[in-house]
Structure 1
Amino acid sequence: MSESQGSARPTTPPRERTTAIRQRLAELRGPTAVPRPLDARALAALAANPGCRRRALLDGAGVDKGALAEALGSPSAAFGQSQFAIARGNTFEARVKSDGGTELLRLLHEHTGGEAPKDAAVPDLAAAGPEGRAARTALALREATAAGGWTLLDHPMLALEVAGSPAYLEPDAVVVAPDGRWTVVEIKSFPMIDAAADPAKVGAAARQAAVYVLALERVAGLLGDTPGPADRVAHSVLLVCPKDFSNLPTASLVDVRKQLSVTRRQLARLTRIEEIADALAPGASFALDRPAPELAETVESVPAAYAPECLAACELAFHCRDRARAVDAVTALGRGLRAELGGLTSVGAVLDAARGRAGDPSDPAVAALRRAAALRAEALEGATVGGAVCR
């Protein structure tokens, strides 16, 4: 393929393109709205549902989806930590990092070996704005790697491009070991009882940590590190939790290679933010002070990919569920079932295919539905006792 046959996207300088995207997203968000930061938890949820352009655009623009749901007349899906849990988590994190991170480094050395930790450097990562903090973090990583000692980066700032828009992420900590390895540290307030924690919570923490690892690999690549990013950044993260029912810290290494691979692939599938925004009508905005009908029209103009899993990850889930049910979409029944049904996208079409009223008999999904319907009818007929059907 010649250069003239390549991508038709105009070659805009990265800085100018980033500025243009930010201006466009600010217009969509509304002139007075404060942008909501796109954190690792939201990125992990977005990566789990890459087909949802609505969430990609709203998160990219920093729209408060909870407030948007209320403005649309729908309840905001309740998830996340209570204020009590947040306060408890902050107290536990402060204890883990106290005394220059001595206990944290001991836990990491206990699981990884190598040179015994002594006094660790804790560089100041303060800077103006997220861009400045990300640049300061990159410099601190370079200096710590060159120094060849233990370094604790407390709440560093990492930058990652998501769907063509920059996102800034803040892990609990990153530790640089004397051998130059960078390890992400996740500090959680749920307990490890008998050295094991709730698998669902560990899985969620691993998906979140995988986003941080991906961002760290980007930093290593920009620094031109040798060895390469994949060798510099550890693919096992240190998960620190309270031990049993105490407030004493314990830890476990969690391999996030699977989550990292999935997250990298899913984020690469996201449609670029500017492409989604360009498809909107002129003057479209998610500003919360707009009339509800106009706001609903703008929201509905952006395609969504609702699934029941959204209820645990997106504030707009109830609104999207109502719309999915209103059009009889099979997505409301779950991604697994939707994948099995092929081209049958509505519940009505599924029932018609099962009853032989529509559908191509050679379609495997249609054939399976008709077979299931025949088996059900046969079972019900056989269960008839004394004129009554046991259902």
Structure 2
Amino acid sequence: MPPPRTRGKALRHRLAELRGEDVPARALDARALAALAANPGCRRRAILDGAGVDKAALANALGSPSVFGQSQFAFTRGNAFEARVKADGGTELLRLAHERLDRSAEPPAAARVPDLSAPGPEGRRARTELALREAAEAAGAWTLLDHPMLALDVAGSPAFLEPDAVVVHPDGRWTLVEIKSFPMLDGAADPAKVGAAARQAAVYVLALEDVAARLAPDLAPGAAPPRVRHRVLLVCPKDFSNLPTASAVDVRKQRAVTARQLARLTRIQDIADALPEGTCFSPGLPPDRLAQAVESVPATYAPECLSACELAFHCRDRSLAAGAVTCLGRPVRAELGGLTTVEDVLAAARGEAGDPADPAVAALRRAAALRAEALAGTPGAPAAAREVAPCR
């Protein structure tokens, strides 16, 4: 077996071939990594993200342009709200962190806010780690890191990540801060948006844990080893105002899912090796060749992809054409077991296919019998309505 360095070099070369030799790699961010964790079974997204393919450009080249992304209005509103939260040296942000997560500590009357500026992402990453080391050794003080730069190993190369903020508590614990512009109404926010924020925060938590593991052995004697909280601080506008409020969100589940998905992503060599020779996802290729390359990698489409992936419209069209039950949502897909297409489901319901001992098949036949019985007692119901017909 080749040594790890040789294998890593070969993988990077293979991924460059898949992306296109002259096409620059698109850097992964926390939002993209969180989306990967939300759909861990999609080999198509795994290989495209691992190779650094620009999926928005790819979708345009395939004739299925993406509308995925944040509007300019929402982007501007979010920046204005974040600036308000961090005003005056982060006084309000630290107050919320003390109130929601650490009331037993002394109030953050005077917090340290180190300068994290440095040339390039590697320089900012080194400056962030130095600031975290200094904060760990400054026992009893609050520290606020504004837009620190972290890194996470993804498929053998670093993905640079920039969370909104990190708070270091007087006892040495680190809390990640996510600032979002969607409101909290009566103390609660939209569960779908909170879930998306939690998945994104879990990526940052993993990166912070890597930093803590590297710093712990080299801290000054007597310094408390850094610990990363699995409860992150989610800061949002309160009700319909622009005043900040916050909630502590436990991201342990999302962190575990993300860690498993990233471990799988580091083995994308297996996916790449299974692709036909000459496969390339460069948006500059002819559409028919590009479509053939994309279809050579299996996808796991679900309606949730529409809010998380630039290729969702392309994958949805292919899934609808194939009659895949995943178009109906993951819960339905999970209930149907080995029945993967609508035609398979209808055939099982009609008794034309399927193992009667299969719970999914038995449930479908029972449902079909109940439907026929109900329609049989409906005056004026056409005979055709009593048959199990495909969904339209």
TM-score of the superposition, structure 1-length normalised?
0.88
CA 1:362–1:118 in structure 2 vs 1: closer, same or farther (change >3 Å)? Answer: same
Write the mapping of 1:183-332 to structure 2, written as runs, cut at 5 A: 183-224=175-216, 232-270=227-265, 272-332=267-327
Counterpart position of 1:89: 78
CA 1:381–1:174 in structure 2 vs 1: closer, same or farther (change >3 Å)? Answer: same
Deviation of 1:237 (Å): 1.1
3-state SS, counterpart of residue 144 of structure 2: strand
Counterpart position of 1:53: 43
CA 1:143–1:250 in structure 2 vs 1: closer, same or farther (change >3 Å)? Answer: same
In 2: Cα distance, 1:334 partner to 1:130 partner: 39
**Alignment root-mean-square deviation, CA:** 2.6
Deviation of 1:20 (Å): 4.2
3-state SS, counterpart of residue 323 of structure 2: coil
The answer as to whether partners of 2:58 and 2:283 remain within 8 angstroms in 1 is yes
The answer as to whether partners of 1:380 and 1:389 remain within 8 angstroms in 2 is no
3-state SS, counterpart of residue 158 of structure 2: strand
Deviation of 1:82 (Å): 0.9
Counterpart position of 1:105: 94
Deviation of 1:26 (Å): 3.0
Deviation of 1:387 (Å): 7.2
The answer as to whether partners of 1:150 and 1:176 remain within 8 angstroms in 2 is yes
Q: Does 1:154 align with 2:146?
A: yes
In 2: Cα distance, 1:64 partner to 1:205 partner: 23
Counterpart position of 1:169: 161
Deviation of 1:252 (Å): 2.0
**Stretch deviating more after TM superposition (53-62 or 381-390):** 381-390
Deviation of 1:73 (Å): 1.2
CA 1:19–1:120 in structure 2 vs 1: closer, same or farther (change >3 Å)? Answer: farther
In 1: Cα distance, 2:42 partner to 2:93 partner: 38
3-state SS, counterpart of residue 224 of structure 1: helix
The answer as to whether partners of 1:60 and 1:165 remain within 8 angstroms in 2 is no
Write the mapping of 1:33-52 to structure 2, written as runs, cut at 5 A: 33-52=23-42
**1:96-136 deviation per Cα after TM superposition (whole angstroms, max 9, x unaligned):** 22222222112212222212213322223334443443333
3-state SS, counterpart of residue 86 of structure 2: helix
CA 1:387–1:46 in structure 2 vs 1: closer, same or farther (change >3 Å)? Answer: closer
In 2: Cα distance, 1:379 partner to 1:197 partner: 42
**1:178-222 deviation per Cα after TM superposition (whole angstroms, max 9, x unaligned):** 211100011111222333323332222122112211221122123
Of the three residues 115, 121, 129, the one matched with 2:112 is 121
In 2: Cα distance, 1:356 partner to 1:388 partner: 18
Aligned residues: 379
In 2: Cα distance, 1:351 partner to 1:243 partner: 49
**1:228-284 deviation per Cα after TM superposition (whole angstroms, max 9, x unaligned):** x99701111111122333322222222222322333344444472222222223332
The answer as to whether partners of 1:21 and 1:165 remain within 8 angstroms in 2 is no
Deviation of 1:291 (Å): 0.7
Percent identity over the alignment?
A: 74
Deviation of 1:386 (Å): 8.3
**Stretch deviating more after TM superposition (164-173 or 211-220):** 164-173
In 1: Cα distance, 2:72 partner to 2:9 partner: 36
**Stretch deviating more after TM superposition (32-41 or 338-347):** 32-41
Q: Structure 1: where are the runs of 5+ without partners?
A: 1-8
* Paired residue type of 2:106: E
Q: Does 1:180 align with 2:172?
A: yes
The answer as to whether partners of 1:174 and 1:185 remain within 8 angstroms in 2 is yes
Counterpart position of 2:390: none
Deviation of 1:174 (Å): 0.6
* Paired residue type of 1:252: S
In 1: Cα distance, 2:310 partner to 2:199 partner: 19
Deviation of 1:87 (Å): 0.8
In 2: Cα distance, 1:109 partner to 1:386 partner: 66
CA 1:100–1:18 in structure 2 vs 1: closer, same or farther (change >3 Å)? Answer: farther
Counterpart position of 1:133: 124
* Paired residue type of 2:210: R
In 1: Cα distance, 2:16 partner to 2:128 partner: 26
In 1: Cα distance, 2:368 partner to 2:381 partner: 23
**Stretch deviating more after TM superposition (320-329 or 82-91):** 320-329
3-state SS, counterpart of residue 384 of structure 1: coil
TM-score of the superposition, structure 2-length normalised?
0.88
In 1: Cα distance, 2:167 partner to 2:8 partner: 31
CA 1:330–1:163 in structure 2 vs 1: closer, same or farther (change >3 Å)? Answer: farther
* Paired residue type of 2:69: G
Q: Structure 2: where are the runs of 5+ without partners?
A: 387-392
The answer as to whether partners of 1:97 and 1:104 remain within 8 angstroms in 2 is yes
